[in-house]
Amino acid sequence: MNTVLYLGAAQGIILVIALFFSRTNRKANRILALFVLLLSFNCLFEATESASFYKNFPFLIRIRWGNTLLFGPLIFLYVRALLNHRFKILIHFIPFFIAKLALIPFYMLSAQEKVLSLNMGNTSTTVSDDWYSTYFFPVISLFSFLQILFYLWRISKDLKLYDQQLFHWFSNVENIHLNWLKHSVWALSVVTIVSFIYLLGELLLSSSIQHMGAYGAFALVLLIYAISYKAISQPDILSLFQSENKISNTPNHIKDQATDSLGKAEDTEASIKTESVLSRHLKDLMEKEKLYLNEKLSGNEMAETLGISRHQLSEVLNNELHTNFYNFINHYRVEDCKQKMANPKFENYTLLAVAFECGFNSKTTFNTVFKRETGMTPRQFKKTLQQ
């Protein structure tokens, strides 16, 4: 196990360098780099920790205590920075600073006094029944696990809101969704809960499982390293939302038609009637101009085409059509796919080629949306046409 932990620490240092110099999501990846660096040192300590080690380096005794109070805040701040949310930094580290302040009297002891705090009857790092080991360490450890679970809950809420924003403003989300991060949050929650139950049992039953701490550290390291590899390849979310606000490439004649329609709508007195006019014109743009064929079509571009604000577009879709932008656009893509599958002109096209012709940019999205809309997979639908 020690060899694995040493390798994990070395791999962590490489990841830290890659994250720190990553060109995308820079703020988020540098926060994650700090977390990976912390875990790398944690791996080294797990691998080298023993009574004999601390006799040679007494100034390192209990140096890790309280460091787990950094885990939750760093994961939370990484996700906040990734999603471009505002956040205050110092407030999240108050528990860590309090823990370290409480440890100052111990850190100021002489080297001999620190060594005496170890149980010299064996080679483990079990400490004697002083105040720190009896009360401080259990409280800090239990609080750390609860804190991590709290931050993971906060992260899951942020990711849920992010998903809602994606489906409101983008018609293709395959390359920008954060499902990998949601799965990682669930995995981290499982590891944290199992570790919490183990620690609770250890405190209550005064017994421990050999190498359990090393196994827990190894599982956590594997998860964080997997997150780091995904983080390096994650597209820059800030640039995605900035590009969503840029001027669209919609042809001018379509914009003019939309503006004329909006002018007629504004002449009506009732807002409901205005929404009805806009929803009809929105459908016209889909059926006649086939804007859904643009695989990068966004809510901002559609709003600009109609000559309305994004808020107005959202109201029309939600209140009048009872859908969101993602489902609205992909409904027309599916309908177009169904027509092309039945058209002899596209007989030699593969199903994926038909999907790309209709504005989809991913096989996964195509299959998922098609089945949701029709209750069948594209292949099953194709077979019904051949019967």
Tens digit of pLDDT for each residue in 95-114?
999 999 999 988 898 888 88
In a domain, 330, yes or no: no
Residue 340 burial (10 A CB sphere; 0-12, 13-18, 19+): middle
Distances in Å between the Cα of 11 and the Cα atoms of 62, 210, 220, 310 are 25, 25, 14, 45
Using alpha carbons, list the distances in angstroms from residue 205 to 6, 125, 162, 200, 255.
31, 18, 43, 8, 72
Q: Do residue 251 and residue 112 come from a single domain? A: no
Helix (H) or strand (E) holding 102: helix 94-107
Pair 218, 266 in one domain? no
Q: Are residues 40 and 161 in the same domain?
A: yes
pLDDT at 166 over 70: yes
Residue range 12-41: mean pLDDT, rounded: 88
Mean pLDDT in residue range 333-358: 92
The answer on 344 and 233 residing in a single domain is: no
Per the structure, how many domains does the chain have?
3
Mean pLDDT of the chain: 80
Whether residue 199 is contained in a domain is answered as yes
Under a CB-based contact definition with an 8 Å cutoff, are residues 51 and 119 in contact?
A: yes
Q: Which domain holds residue 354?
A: 339-387
In a domain, 327, yes or no: no
Is 271 in the same domain as 169?
Answer: no
- Asked whether residue 43 falls in the same domain as residue 94, the answer is yes
Which among 274, 293, 322 is the end of a domain?
Answer: 322
Domain boundary among 293, 322, 351: 322
For residues 50-75, average pLDDT = 85
- Single residue among 238, 266, 289 that ends a domain in this structure: 238
Quick check: pTM over 0.85?
Answer: no
Flag whether 76 is in a domain.
yes
298 in Cβ contact with 170 (< 8 Å): yes
Q: What is the DSSP string of 117-137?
A: TB-TTSSS--B-SSHIIIIIH
Higher pLDDT, 240 or 324: 324
Whether 66 and 180 share a structural domain: yes
